[in-house]
Every structure is written in C-alpha cells, then in structure tokens.
Structure 1
Amino acid sequence: MEVKILDTKQEGSATCYLTKFFMSEYLENLPDDYRDWNVQRGIVTNHYLDKIIDTLLQSKHIPPLVLITDNVNASGDKARLESFQVLDGLQRTHRLKLIHNSVNFIKNTPEIIEESKIHGVLKSVRKHSKSITENNATSPVVRKLLSEIESGNSIDNLFEFEQWAEVWENLSLTEQVNKMLLLNAGHKSVSKKHQIEIIFHNIISKLENELEDKFTIVRERNVSSISANKNRPVGQFSFSHIVSGMMSLDQGKPVTINANLLSKVQEDIDNYTLSYDEILELCSFLADLDSSLFNEYNDIGLKWLGKEVVVTGLLGAVGIYAEKHGISTTESLNITRNKLIPNPSILSLNNYDDIRNGLDVSKINIGKVNKSAVTSAITDLLEAKVSIVDWNNAFSGGV
C-alpha cells in the first residue's frame, strides 16, 4: 500500500510515521486475517459505529487509524507498506470493509438497482440476501446505498478520500500490547481476562501444536469463559484460565485476575512467567486430568475442571507444595499427576456441588471460598493428610 509521510517520531528503536493514504487502497490491501490478529480484542457490538456509513455519505472526518508493520520502505515523503496490522481502529475498519464490500456487490450486480426501482429496495435486497452474505456484504448497508442511488447520488467514489494514520515500525510485542491497551483505555473496556490473554498471547498456537488433539484453547475475545464452560468438550480450556493457573503455580498461591495484577504483570512480566516447558507440562497435566475426570464423573468432572476457581486453586496448591518441599514446579506437577490421574475417585466430586451449594452466599465471597476449598483439599491430598477429599472439611476451612 502506498502512503504519504507527513511527519516522523522516534520512540526507542521504533519509528512512528504520521501518514495519509486513500481509503480505497487501504481497504483493498487489508490482510485476510486482519480481524484475527491476537493482539486485537475482536469485533464488538457498537450501534454508534454501525452508523459510520452516514459519516461516509456525508463526507465527514474519520479519526486516524494506528497501524503496525515490520518494515516501511520509505523514499522521501513516500513509502510502501508490504504488510501491516491494525493496532487501533479495528472496529471502524471492520465496518468500512463491510461497506466497501457492499458497494462492490452493487457494482457487480447492477440488476439490483433496476429491481429496486420497480419492486422497491426492501424486496430487491431480500431477493439477493444470500448473494449479499456470500460476498461478505451486509443487507442493511446495501439498502442504504440503494436508497442513496435512488436519490440521485453516486456511490462510485465513496472511498476516494485521504485517511490519516499513524504507522509504527519495529514495535516489540510488549510495546504493541501496551499501546493497544492504552489506546483502548477510553473506549469500550477490554475485559481483564482478555487483557491477560493479550499479554501472554504468543504462547497460544505453540501450546496447541505441541499437545495436538488432546488440548484446545478458547480465547475470551471469541467466547467468554463462562459460556465456554457450559458445553465444554474434554481437553478444551479457556486461555485466561490457563494463564491464571500458570501464575497461581508460579506464585505458589491462587491468583485472581484483576486490575492490580494486570498492572504488576505489565510492569514486570518476567516475574510472572514460567518457562515454556513448564507451561507445556501444566497444560498436558490439565488435559490428562480432564480426561480422567470425565471417565470417572462424566459432565460433573468437565464442569468442575472448567471453573477458573478450580484451576487456580488446584495449581496454587501444586505451587505451594513445590515451595514447601523445595522442588521444581515440574516435579510438583508430576507428583500431583501421579496422585490424581490414576485415582480420580479420591476427589469425591459427586459431593462438591452439594457442599458448595449449601453455603450461605450472602455472608461470604463465594469465589474466594471456592478457591480456598480447592487449594486446601489438594494440599491435604499431596501432603497425605487425607486419602480422599472431604469437601465439607475443605469448605469449612475457607468460610
């Protein structure tokens, strides 16, 4: 994509180019996976942004975008971007792309213009609804554009205007994440769980590739962890649960994802990160435990291990055991693996919900009590204080 450079600014080893380019060229050069870049939060519902077509039709200003690239081929005040991703402006870009596709659909299906004059816009669009969807266009936008044509206005040059954008070159992954969170700070909030996923996102694909079919990850940006747990297949985990479990194991205590934790992680991420091999071992353990629990308890086992309070409580206990006995987290995981996976019945999960549901939730923090109970139960098993979990005792200690 060709851009014109208006100004430049250096920030460490990164360079920011203030640029402008034609919107038509930007939309035609969007990467196919522009919506799926891990650092971004995904498309969200926003009725105000859905009205961006009115901004286009009235030739009003669209706020600057922020893009990142590995290389800007600059020559004087001109440059070429071979590839780029959208750091800020994904919501606008997505809606502009739908409008662009809708314009192209009308241009490539000229009969719809005549049909709308004879039969009306609504009926004509309804007739072509399948084709509109297949062309990644949208019926409401096509209706709006046809009405504009009926009013005697042209849509041919709708995107032939210059758009401003910051183009960042050579931003590190950490800098990309921090800028994305900062740029979104005043907009619709990025959930705490998604923020923690973004910070650790670079391990996602590696984990799934290493563990192949027995382990899959669901991201918060695609489906909330609560929704994911309702119909969770064996071996599927929310990535935010993996991260909070990872930190619980590393810190030797159950960890809760909140604003304070996010701030600490961003300031000193190395203090909250296990080695890749340790993370891989953790995920393998969870996948194998999940299979064992399903074989023993069916859906009860799936729902239990799908809860964040259980994952953090369980792995917090493993971390506590490692610290107490001066062993590595991998050794502690292996001890826990050998204790639980061949003998899932010792967890007594058939009694877990009955005891938990009998608590007076008006007087306690149920999430905190849940985590404490799981941590206590697993710790007692690892220390051989009990041979089988008594959830009544475990929950009594956390109330």
Structure 2
Amino acid sequence: MGIKVLGKTKDLRTNTPVIYAQMSIMDYLELVSDDFDDFRFQRKRVNYVPYERMKEDIKKGALLPSITLATKFEYTEDVLSVLDNDDYLKHTLLNMTGKFNILDGLQRTYILQDIKNEGHEFHPEQSVLLEFWIESQLKNLIYRLIVLNAGQKKMSMRHQIELLFLNIKDTLEREIPNLEIHTQKESTRRNKSKKFALDRLVMGYQSFLLKNTEVKRSNVVAQEMLENNVLDSTAEELGSGFEDFIRFLNIYTRLDEATFNHYENYSKSAHVEAENEEEFDYNSAKQWFASENVINCFFAAVSKFISSSNRESNLFKTLNRLVELINQSQVYSDPLGLGVLYKIQSGIDPRRVSVDFQTRKIIYYGLLEYFKEDGAINLDECWQLGAF
C-alpha cells in the first residue's frame, strides 16, 4: 500500500491542517477497510441513476472528484506530530487502516467497492485524490462541520450534526460514564439504561441548537430561519454551547438510569397498592428518557431556559434534585407523573391534531414550567399545565 503526499495547507479561520494526497484505488479501499460503512451511522446508501453512469465511467478510467477523510478524533495527535516530515507522515497515514471517517465521498466509495467486488481490475495508474482533515480542537470541529460545510455546499443541518457525532462518538462514551451510543446498523433491544440511538442524540443536539422541538419542519422557510441563527454563531459560541450540551447530556443519562431502575423495580413488584391498581405502562415508563420526543423536548427546553435566564446553575441543581427524588421514591410511586401524562396523551384526538406534535408540546412546556419553578412543583401538574 502506497500514498503520495501532494501538499499541505491550513484553514486560517479554524487553523485546521489539511493534507492533500493521492493513492491507487485498491490502496484507498484497503486504507478505509471493508467496514468503512460503519462510519456512516444514519447516512444510508443512495440508489441514484447517475451513479450507474459514474460506475461505468470509473471502469473506463475516469478520475473521481476528491474524497475527504478525517482521522478519528482520538488519532489526530498521531498525525499532527509528524506533519512536518513527509516520510513519517506517509508511514503514519498508511498504518491507520480503519481509523478514518469518510466526510465526503461515501457514495463514491460504495461504487468503488462494488466495482472491486465484481472482479474488475483497476488500471494501476488509476488513482483517487484525497483530502485529509486533521482537527483536534472540538470547537473548530463543530464550527467547520456546522458552519463552513453549510457554506461550501448544500447539506442539511441534520447531516452536518451526524458528521460531528461521527467524529466524537468515542469521545462522548469516554467522558460520560457507561454511556453507550449505538447506530441504526447496530440497533439492538434497549435492555439497560444509558444506551441511546445515535440518531436520537443527533436530533437532541439539533433541538438544543434550535431551541425548538420541531427539527423536521415541513415549513422550509421557518426551518431555514431557525438554522440561520445557528450559522451566525462564532466558533467560540458553538464550542461553548456544545460543552453545555455535553454537561446536560451527562445529567440526562443519570435521569435515564434512575428512571429505568425505578420503573423496572415497579414492574417486578408482585403486588400493587390499591390506589395504584389502575393500569400503568411501566415498560414505557422505564424507557421514557430514551424516546425521541422526550430527548428533543428536554434539550430544546433546557436550551430555551438557559438562553432566556441567568439560572443555568439553578437548573443543574434542579435536575440533580430530580435524580435524587427518583432514586429515593417508594417502589409504587410515580415520581415523573407519567401516569397523568399518559392519560393526557390518550385524550389527544388524532383526527384533529398530530399526536406526536401535541405530545411534544405538552412535554416541552411542562418541562419549562418545572425549570421555571426550580423543581418546586410536581411533574404531573406540569404536564397538565403543558396541555393548555
């Protein structure tokens, strides 16, 4: 396997080192490994008619547009340490098989792999141009993916955030105790707390950025207006905001753990006290914090609250007290007031309104009431207030 370094530059706005290189197609496929599609997370393979034409052109020797790779976040220092020595740099890159994320060129890589699997032999001089993106500063990573990518080509904010989480998934799992992030491809039954689907965390962060639960708006103009507010942010603002998101994600996983354990114990109890004999969906209750609607509502409400008040530290105290409240609750109690919430949800008329939309409205405004009152109000009352 060989590689030719063509040049190096730096994005002067973010100080991101960039390496331009060239490899044979077979060497490139070996570098990204057969498991390269593990990096895609929710980015699905696209069946697009022009790709068939591209496939035939490649077989005839066509040169592809450059492909952008990024070293996984934890390996950036390995590359940066040899950046000024081309011999060491080439050696380092060639020994990083499977340690790259494909930021731009996933579909092209699929096509190249298909051609290889069909037994086609690429011309030995047919190469692929590569751009290696080496970024070790989290704030610059966020800024480049969310803001600069938006200016380079049309890319949904959702996709940009997926790329961000693609780069820092392992970092998040190291920073937050027992956090497990799984992809759609790896999707398994959620049989423990602190286990979240990556696409739901992506939407949670998008809700945090937009301060809004409706991250999949049909109104394109309204969506662009919300996203433009984010794109006006500086690297420092985005970096600081993401640090806030991580701190609240940490406490969110603790809420999930406490809730999962409490309602699992509830479900294992053989006898229920008379006042609780009414049917209660405890299986849904223990998974409550893993649901898409709750994740979106929680992070949208948190972002809205801390942006409109100077009570961020109060909110941490409120949420910590909620964790303790759940942990110390009696077995047959319902500390989150979910029995009331489920009753309210059952009264939503799907012929008049969207059940999901109305559910998000109730949870979002209910959480805001809870935050405003510093937790000095029962959540079942908050859900009722959120329903008005």
TM-score for both structures, normalised by structure 2: 0.64
Q: Which amino acid aligns with 1:199?
A: L
The corresponding residue for 1:301 is 285
The corresponding residue for 2:197 is 238
The corresponding residue for 2:260 is 290
1:271 CA drift (Å): 4.8
Structure 1: runs of 5 or more not aligned: 103-140, 146-154
The corresponding residue for 2:320 is 334
Question: 5 Å matches for 1:219-234?
Answer: 219=183, 222=185, 232-234=190-192
Superposed CA deviations along residues 7-32 of structure 1, whole A, max 9, x for unmatched, are 66553244555554322332333356
Q: Which of 147, 161, 164 is 1:199 aligned to?
A: 164
Partners of 1:15 and 1:249 in 2: CA distance: 29
1:92 CA drift (Å): 1.7
1:264 CA drift (Å): 4.1
1:306 CA drift (Å): 3.0
The corresponding residue for 1:345 is 334
Contact 2:63 2:128 in 1 (8 A): no
Q: Which amino acid aligns with 1:330?
A: F
Contact 2:25 2:122 in 1 (8 A): no
Q: Per the alignment, in what secondary structure is the counterpart of residue 167 of structure 1?
A: strand
Question: 5 Å matches for 1:114-129?
Answer: none
Q: Which amino acid aligns with 2:290?
A: G
Structure 2: runs of 5 or more not aligned: 72-78, 216-222, 267-280
Partners of 1:171 and 1:317 in 2: CA distance: 31
Inter-CA distance 273–80: structure 2 relative to 1 (3 Å threshold): closer
Indicate the RMSD between aligned Cα atoms, in angstroms.
4.5
Partners of 1:324 and 1:10 in 2: CA distance: 38
1:353 CA drift (Å): 3.9
Inter-CA distance 245–336: structure 2 relative to 1 (3 Å threshold): farther
Q: Per the alignment, in what secondary structure is the counterpart of residue 80 of structure 1?
A: helix
Q: Which structure would you say has the larger Rg?
A: 1
Q: Per the alignment, in what secondary structure is the counterpart of residue 21 of structure 1?
A: strand
1:359 CA drift (Å): 2.4
Partners of 1:326 and 1:58 in 2: CA distance: 60
The corresponding residue for 1:389 is 380
Inter-CA distance 381–338: structure 2 relative to 1 (3 Å threshold): farther
1:160 matched to 2:124 = yes
Contact 2:46 2:107 in 1 (8 A): no
TM-score for both structures, normalised by structure 1: 0.62
The corresponding residue for 1:356 is 345
Partners of 1:16 and 1:207 in 2: CA distance: 25
The number of equivalent residue pairs is 331
Q: Per the alignment, in what secondary structure is the counterpart of residue 103 of structure 2?
A: strand
1:294 CA drift (Å): 3.9
Partners of 2:367 and 2:19 in 1: CA distance: 54
Inter-CA distance 50–342: structure 2 relative to 1 (3 Å threshold): farther
The corresponding residue for 2:238 is 269
